[in-house]
Structure 1
Amino acid sequence: MAKKTEATVEEKLRALYDLQLIDSRVDEIRNVRGELPLEVEDLEDEVEGLKTRLDKLVDDLDNLNHEIASKKNLIEEAKALIKKYTEQQKNVRNNREFNSLSKEIEYQELEIQLAEKNIKEYKVQIEQKKEVIAQTKERLSERESHLKHKKGELDAIMAETEKEEKALMDKSEEFEKLIEERLVSAYKRIRQNVKNGLAVVAIERGASGGSFFTIPPQIQMEIAARKKIITDEHSGRILVDPILADEEKEKMEQLFSSL
């Protein structure tokens, strides 16, 4: 059985740069979505919070109306008792019974006064609750409208980019399998640690892409020779020569346009 030929350094560099181009394309797509998914999530939470608050306010309003009805019943009961005790006073046998009934009448009158005071307080609270409910409904309506708009934006972007992103993620996995695990791990580690997720960059005007640090001519020649994998000593990025980069960009543009 023939032994599998190991990929050359140049093949590894091309595969790494291709992987970088694919992952950068995915980054671009996600940047287009930007903060929208988080905005939508925050708005959904806010809408739910407002709905919960509105439900509680409506419950409070119901409870206050129930309390008013209860106090009105108490007043009617107290009035009935006053009438009853007043009638009984007409048939008392002595002052002690009369005074006892007078105290009962006085107590019921105080109960009526207290109940009427409570009803006034509840009515003030009801007006305040109604005002807060109106404000909350207005806020809820505005937030729901904003949420609908943002969801529409997100859905439009998702519809436009989801298929491409999925295809690119599949391609990213395919290309990872073409590269030895050690290099993929190094690539991912560098990608996490550098700006813009660029772990593999081409030399531009004598410096590594995205850097101002000049690369010595001798190192540039070694990079162009494609005999070993060379990293930028300042950023840790893997470096490729401009010609290889241009060739791979052209190849990957064709791949992207076919997705």
Structure 2
Amino acid sequence: MANTKELNVEEKLRALYDLQLIDTRIDEIRNVRGELPLEVEDLEDEVAGLSSRNEKLKQDLEHIEEQIKAKKIAIDDYQASIKKYTKQQDSVRNNREFNSLTKEVEFQELEIQLAEKQIKEMKASMEHKKQVIAESKERLEAKSNHLKHKKAELSDIMSETQKEEAFLSEKSAEYEVLIEQRLLAAYKRIRGSVRNGLAVVSIERGASAGSFFTIPPQTQVEIAGRKRIIIDEHSGRILVDSSLAEEEKEKMEKLFSKF
């Protein structure tokens, strides 16, 4: 669809309303997805965080196990030293040497007591970490399953709507080319400022669609005349008559029915 000639007012109104119908359909498709892509992204971050935490806990556990092994080896060394010093006491030449060896034995015994206390504390820490790992693993499995379900849900929605959205986005761009820049900029500004994205609305029961403010009869006649672009003074939206709206809706329904 190319902009080969200057459109008259009625053609501009039709092009604007068609663009509105297409953009509204795109909005509806995106609303179906809703917050699902963000929800999937958040779940992916959470699963990655839990996985990383679990790996860190497992590494901590391995480190504690290594420390316990080192302490047990140290205890064996202390016990070997005690045997050595005790044996040396049998061949000492004086009390000073005997007392010195006795102090060495006592020191090694204290080292053994300290190492055994540290092993006990590390084993308690290991048990706590094992419990935390089990709980974290359970939570990770639950979150992973939830993520799998949400990804499948998003994949189904995307496969159903992706082609339609791409097609409609292309059509929206084609209709934008038909509309002069000043009018298109106004359309986009209005559309961006209203919650439902409706920048062009029809007259329904004497009022603009979605509004409770009645349009004066003379203004309704002007709108039906399609001789100039008229803005609703209350909502700020561009107004079209109901007949034009119905004709364009019927035309666009044929376009949408392709999907």
TM-score norm. by structure 2 comes to 0.97
Q: Which residue of 2 aligns with 1:59?
A: 59
Shift in Å at residue 195 of structure 1? 2.0
**What 5-or-longer segments of structure 1 have no aligned partner?**
none
**What 5-or-longer segments of structure 2 have no aligned partner?**
none
Shift in Å at residue 8 of structure 1? 0.4
Shift in Å at residue 210 of structure 1? 1.0
Q: Distance in 1 between matches of 2:64 and 2:143?
A: 28
Q: Which residue of 1 aligns with 2:107?
A: 107
Q: Which residue of 1 aligns with 2:164?
A: 164
Where in structure 2 are the equivalents of 1:89-168 lying within 5 Å?
Answer: 89-168=89-168
Q: Which residue of 2 aligns with 1:32?
A: 32
Q: Distance in 2 between matches of 1:6 and 1:47?
A: 56
Q: Distance in 2 between matches of 1:140 and 1:45?
A: 12
Q: Which residue of 2 aligns with 1:203?
A: 203
Once the two structures are superposed, what CA deviation does each residue of 1:97-123 show, in whole Å capped at 9, x if it has no partner? 111111111010000000000000011
State the one-letter code of the partner of 1:224: A
**Paired residue secondary structure (1:183):** helix
Shift in Å at residue 256 of structure 1? 1.2
Shift in Å at residue 34 of structure 1? 0.9
Q: Which residue of 1 aligns with 2:49?
A: 49
Q: Which residue of 1 aligns with 2:251?
A: 251
Q: Distance in 2 between matches of 1:156 and 1:27?
A: 18
**Paired residue secondary structure (1:214):** coil
Once the two structures are superposed, what CA deviation does each residue of 1:79-108 show, in whole Å capped at 9, x if it has no partner? 000001011111111111111111111010
Once the two structures are superposed, what CA deviation does each residue of 1:9-55 show, in whole Å capped at 9, x if it has no partner? 00000000000000000000001111111110111010000001000
State the one-letter code of the partner of 2:210: G
**Paired residue secondary structure (1:258):** coil
State the one-letter code of the partner of 1:18: D
Shift in Å at residue 146 of structure 1? 0.4
Q: Which residue of 1 aligns with 2:10?
A: 10
